[in-house]
Homo-oligomer: A and B are copies of this chain.
Amino acid sequence: MSTLDAVLSHVDANLDASLERMKALVRFQSISTDPAYQQECQKTAEHLAKELNDIGIEAAVRPTAGHPMVVGHAKDNENKSGPHVLFYGHYDVQPVDPLGLWETDPFDPQITERHGVQVMTGRGSSDDKGQLLTFMEACRAYHAVRGTLPIAVSILFEGEEESGSPSLVPFLKENKAELSKDLALVCDTTMFGPSSPAITTMLRGLLGEEIVITAANRDLHSGMYGGPAANPIKILANILADLHDDQGRVTIPGFYDGVEELSAEVKAQWDALPFDGAAFLADIGLSLPAGEAGYSVYELVNARPTCEFNGITGGYSGDGFKTVIASKASAKISCRLVGKQEPLKLRAAFRTFVRDRVPNDCSVDFIDHGASPAHSLSPDYPPLQKGAQALKEEWKQEALMMGMGGSIPIVGEFKDILDMDSMLIGFGLDDDNIHSPNEKYNIGSYHKGIRSWVRVLDALSRD
């Protein structure tokens, strides 16, 4: 039996123990955006460092101004053939509200059947704990069978991916020599379908902003003041309504600078994908494509920029009614970016757009929630060819070169700061409910994901 087959067999034979390790990781309540969970994030990092050390990867919890990083290097990284890879994943998770919509405890993972498929439930089961474990478990199998990995491997686990990664850039800069390897491997993306592997070669960037409008110096009675007193909810609604025209285009001056239309060739490829826009919308209970007129659903998600309203609050929102005019109203807004859109330039343009619409006797405050440019990888890149071949061997289907609507800021930072390209291979699915109640990860994604990484590591070690 070849080494590769022996390692794959080991993965198969030890799946149950591997699933228990996944449960243990999901149980940590590592919600990075909420300061109440700071200790849980710390414990998650410590757990991962210990697990890495158990499989021959010397790892340590590395403090930052926020949640810690976990950095590791395989003990025998010297004199390996192939590229030295840095594997990246994130151990933090999204908040779980609205909790009432979860069918199981988000932090008590369960293996269960959903729509005829075996899944693991829990916040982070897919995004990104289950995904990062596929790589760790592949390393574990090599360690058990051979005592070593086919190529040199380093690890970077982040704990702030879901909250704008404030500590990432300083950490990469401070540890540039240690982290700058030949290639980054990132497992935080989806497949095209449950049996269609994919490598994501286009990612949208992200600009996160919060605006807080202040009108009167206190909450007012709408009978005594309604009419002449400025209402911050009205000001905010007018601003939000102004941000799009009636064709769904964003109206911030200069917003589309750097946005590239798809080439005819890529557009033809995408139009040929077995992607059903109507079914995609039907799955979430919708039927009319919103957003920019004139683009397919697939294009809108993967190649067009957006300006989305992620949250709004102001005045009385409890049960019943309160005839109040609020002093403040606020909204959280994020722009997905593509092509060569410049996040910092857009932030300035956005703020000017908002300020221009706030009456002179009212005020606006802005809170910065991060900014990262879009990213794309050339299909000619040799490791991409090897990765695609390895995936094809595991799944018996061609690996698609996909666009992805989401943002993985790390990819841009790896390029900018470490001069390192990233190969994005993930096993999530669109119905994983990431960022929503009832997140899950298919057991099939997990099992074949581990096997996929076993094959990718082997493929990268060959000429």
Choose among B223, B319, B320 the residue that contacts A406 (Cβ–Cβ < 8 A). B223
Instruction: Provide the bound-state CA to CA distance between A309 and B287, in Å.
Output: 30
Q: With an 8 A cutoff between CB atoms, is A233 at the interface?
A: yes
Distance of A215 Cα from B164 Cα, bound (Å):
26
Of the listed stretches A147-155, A323-331, A380-388, A417-425, chain B binds A323-331
**Does A194 belong to the interface (CB within 8 Å)?**
no
Q: How far is the CA of A189 from the CA of B216 in the complex (A)?
A: 22
Contact B233 A240 (CB under 8 A): yes
Binds B, one of A4-12, A44-52, A299-307, A446-454: A299-307
A336 with B34: CB separation less than 8 A:
no
Which of B225, B280, B310, B316 contacts A321 (CB under 8 A)? B310
Which of A115-123, A203-211, A257-265 participates in binding chain B? A203-211
What string of 1s and 0s marks CB contacts (under 8 Å) between A285-307 and chain B? 11111111001010011001010
Partner pick for A227 among B218, B241, B300, B309, CB 8 A cutoff: B300
Interface size on A, residues (CB 8 A): 102
- Picked from B162, B218, B285, B330, the residue with its CB within 8 Å of the CB of A437 is B218
Chain B contacts of A330 at CB under 8 A? 317
Residue of B nearest to A33 (CB): B320
- CA A291 to CA B162, docked complex, whole Å: 41
Flag whether A435 is at the interface (Cβ < 8 A): yes
Interface residues of A (CB under 8 A from B): 32-35, 94-95, 97-98, 101, 162-164, 190, 204, 206, 208, 210, 215-231, 233-234, 236-238, 240-242, 244, 277, 280-281, 284-292, 295, 297, 300-301, 304, 306, 308-326, 329-332, 334, 336, 359-362, 369-370, 404-407, 430, 433-437
